[in-house]
Amino acid sequence: MALSSPRLRAGPLAAVVVLIALHSALPLGAQPDPAFEPRPGDTRTQADYQEQHGDIKFLKGRVEIVTDEFVITASEANYNEASGDVEAHGNVRYRHLTRQEDLYAEKLSYNAQSETGTFYQVHGIVESASQGGPRLLSTDNPFYLEGAIVYKAAGHYTVHDGFVTNCEIDNPWWTMRSPNTTIVPGEHATIRRGVFRLRGVPLFYFPYFRKSLKRLPRQSGFLTPNIGHSSRFGFVLGQSYYWAINRSYDATIGGTWLSDRGSASRVTLRGRPTKNSFFHSTFFGVNDRGFQQRDGSRVKQGGGTFQLEGGGTIPGGFRGIAQINYLSSLEFRQAFTQTFDEAVISQVKSIGFISKDISTFSINVSAVRHENFQTVQKDDKIILRKLPSLEFNSRDRQLFDGPIPLWFSLDSSFGLVSRTQPTFQTRRFVQRGDIFPRLTSSFRFAEFQFTPTFGFRQTSYGQRREEGSLQGVNLHRGSREFSLDIAPPSFQRIFEGPKWLGARVKHVIEPRIRYRFVDGIDNFDKVIRFDERDLLTNTNEADISITNRLYAKDATTGAVREVASLEVWQRRYFDRDFGGALVPGQRNVFSSTIDVTPFAFLDQSRSASPIVTSFRVMPNWRTFLGWRYDYDQLRGKIVNSSVDSGWRINNLWSVEAGHHAVRTPSTLSAPSNQLSTLVRLGDFNRRGWNVALRTNYDYRQTIFIYNATQATYNTDCCGFSFEWRRFAIGQTRNENQFRVALSIANVGSFGTLSPRERMF
């Protein structure tokens, strides 16, 4: 199975090679006189004056030689009908009919049969196929080239003392000149002693460079060097090599020298062993000399990360997926990652599973490792393992039909689990088995929809907690569960809508009620916590929610869309201490709380959860606003709030802003109060100036924990990008970075600012 090409950062010299390719396989609009439609081997000559001696035609004045492949015009030409040789002089123009070439020369010596020859003092335009992706700067300008001599022979071209550009030729931004370039059309090109100039100023010299000319190039070779500077790393110099192993596998191997810290290495390997399988793996590591502090000592923050993702089909109808992630330390991630979003992630999860569906049943075998770093301190982390876990489940399967139908569903699992953290560690393998069968029915009464569910759960553990210590004694937990979902009739009304919203507007009110009762769990404090299965407690609760939705109908297309919604819900607890599981004065997390809100709120006996409100409005594709918050009536304030908004003012301007705050007591969760903004003017391919600014401000620390400012200026054929970034992540990282990139339209970019890290 063939691999698609990776998004390589092609250098300016790579650009040139593509530009110089005279025979890019693209259609040309130029056509000869329609009165003559040559077939293969046919040739027509036309001139003001023609004279023939034997096989040679002497042509003068508005000469035109036409075949099924090309058209040659000139002031004078000699054509040998037997050998196919053409000698043309004065205002020579060569147009190929199946490949996009339109070249001018002072003199041409060419053989029409073998398509070999020599062009003298050549200039012209050649359209090229882009080798980039959606984040490649593009232009409609054709490639312009000039050369003293161009030889064509044996399926390749040799260009002497020439240059190319795809800028406006009157005042080109960039050119690439080389005394010797060898081109194999559709395959590759080799440039020797090439010089890249920007506004006439030489910037780069390459003694030797080889570049693929394929539409999706997979040519082995060195990538553009990475050069930059950081206040924390010093001078940065990196180089990578791309290895196209074969049709189904490739690898990228690279290293970076950090003058103040040491060296970094990165290896990426990917492949498609079969049609229905794939894998992609990456390793990144830093051999760190350490960050020098004011007292002269060094703090080493080196380490490594590894990611592997793969999947495929297995004989017998099974499907397998694997996602393996390894991180040596949270400090390493915060110190060396190049994105803020990744730097603040403190979890690492690896999972591999094999599954198969049979009717309503499913079989899953999985292995899971979940690592949660508490701080940047060594070994301050919690590790949960399931090695392995077997699940046999069934979604709702109908047993009886009729006025009161009945469905059966099942969740069951058996696995070997373990938990490791600084305060305690379980056995390496703790057996845990769980089975949860349920019966569900549904019926209507007086416009109300009732859905009752009955079930029981049995769970067994091979180890238990006993008075703060772990005991190697089995533990059995049994529970009975009943739930009733009630869907009252919804209320709706249609109004005449304003023109800016739609022809019709519908307002819908949807109330919902759910009651749930769980009993039989009297040993919650003895259960070791591995995942959500172990958070089950006794409960007697009811949910009440009401949702308002606003729909708009377009008068022209008839399309209906939701423009606004407001949902409010709360859970009432009739068992205030959850069967004795509640421990006052500390953070309590139960299955009855995590599906109400992701923020912990239970540190005392209470009869209700906070009131949760979710509001979202999107009147048009340019504007959106979302606000989700928890109002805790016991504390008399909003304890958690998350606001996200965006406004695309026009096709150029856009603004995004978000505010996230946690105001619960520290016993429940760490308080936070942060504001994020993103302002953009322009887009990736817009000519002229394009500017973007992103900030993350922490009100509690009164500092910007992340800033990034990018400015890009795009010409008709190239672009210049500059970016300044600042990280302020606790004591781990306080750094300023300056990054730059030069983009060549339709070819690629090089520099320290990679396309995937840009803000547009």
3-class SS string, 613-670:
EEEEEEEECCEEEEEEEEEECCCCEEEEEEEEEEECCCCCEEEEEEEEEECCCCCCCC
Which is nearest to 356 in space by CA: 320, 323, 387, 324? 320
pLDDT, residue 469, reads 86
Sign of CA dihedral 726, 730, 734, 740: negative
d(CA 604, CA 585): 6
Q: Is residue 670 part of a domain?
A: no
pLDDT, residue 101, reads 77
| Angle subtended at Cα 605 by Cα 601 and Cα 610, rounded to the nearest 5 degrees | 35
pLDDT, residue 134, reads 57
pLDDT, residue 208, reads 82
Q: Determine if residue 578 is left, alpha or beta; phi over 0 gives left, psi from -120 to 50 gives alpha, anything else beta.
A: left
Q: Is residue 737 part of a domain?
A: no
Q: 91: domain CATH number?
A: 2.60.450.10
d(CA 99, CA 71): 12
Which is nearest to 333 in space by CA: 310, 304, 363, 313? 304
pLDDT, residue 317, reads 87
What's this model's pTM, rounded to 2 decimal places?
A: 0.80
Q: Is residue 671 part of a domain?
A: no
pLDDT, residue 166, reads 82
Positions of the chain with pLDDT lower than 70, given as ranges: 1-38, 127-135, 154-155, 185-188, 211-218, 755-756
Under a CB-based contact definition with an 8 Å cutoff, are residues 204 and 13 in contact? yes
Query: Does 179 sit behind a cis peptide bond, omega within 30 degrees of 0 on the bond before it?
Result: no
Number of domains in the chain: 1
d(CA 181, CA 14): 12
Q: Is residue 90 part of a domain?
A: yes
pLDDT, residue 614, reads 97
pLDDT, residue 291, reads 84
314: how many CB neighbours lie within 10 A of its CB? 13
Q: Is residue 169 part of a domain?
A: yes
Distances in Å between the Cα of 87 and the Cα atoms of 63, 95, 96, 375 are 12, 16, 17, 79
- 480-534 residue pLDDT tens: 999 999 999 999 999 887 877 777 899 999 999 999 999 999 999 999 999 999 9
Under a CB-based contact definition with an 8 Å cutoff, are residues 711 and 703 in contact? no
d(CA 313, CA 321): 9
Q: Looking at the DSSP assignment, which residues form a beta bridge with residue 408?
A: 397, 439
Q: Is residue 541 part of a domain?
A: no
- 396-416 residue pLDDT tens: 999 998 888 999 999 999 999
Q: Is residue 554 part of a domain?
A: no
Residue 194 has which token pair? Answer: 């090439």
DSSP character at residue 345: -
Domain holding 142, by residue range, is 12-221
d(CA 661, CA 699): 10
